[in-house]
Amino acid sequence: MYGTTIIILMNVYDIPNAVTQKLPDDVVVILQEPLNMHDMLIKKIELHLYRLTQEDRPYDVIVVHLEMGGHTIQMTYDEGYGRHDSLQKTADFIMSQLGMSAIILRARILLDTHMEDSSRKYCE
């Protein structure tokens, strides 16, 4: 008779375990003003740099942090052995190319996948 609408707000993390409980070593803000893209309101895009040690060498992990449509998504953008100024170079590349749109689309696909998985689990 009456339908039920369930709204699921997701926190999606597609990042290495080594950075899940660590504060970023540096942050670059990519998007400060809300933006509508791919049928979602994107409120924030940041790049987070995590400096780790792997095999006794500095190892950088750059994570994209997005807030879109009420959801939070964190996903690995790049990683590798300590490169000088890697965070700023990555931010410059994203801003000068079509990188921001690609990040948003990738996040949307990741979010949709997680929401479909959650819906299936809820309906079972």
Report pLDDT for 65.
93
Please give the backbone phi and psi of residue 10, each rounded to the nearest 5 degrees, phi first: -105, 145
pLDDT recorded at residue 1: 47
pTM, 2 dp: 0.81
pLDDT of residue 98: 74
In this prediction, residue 8 carries a pLDDT of: 57
Residue-wise pLDDT tens for the chain (124 aa)?
455 545 556 688 888 888 888 899 999 999 888 988 767 899 999 999 999 988 899 899 999 999 988 889 999 999 998 777 889 989 998 888 777 888 888 888 888 888 777 666 655 5
Radius of gyration of the chain (CA): 16
**Would you say 31 and 40 are in contact if contact means Cβ atoms under 8 Å apart?**
no
Provide the pLDDT for residue 120: 61
Q: What angle do CA 52, 81, 28 make, to 5 degrees?
A: 65
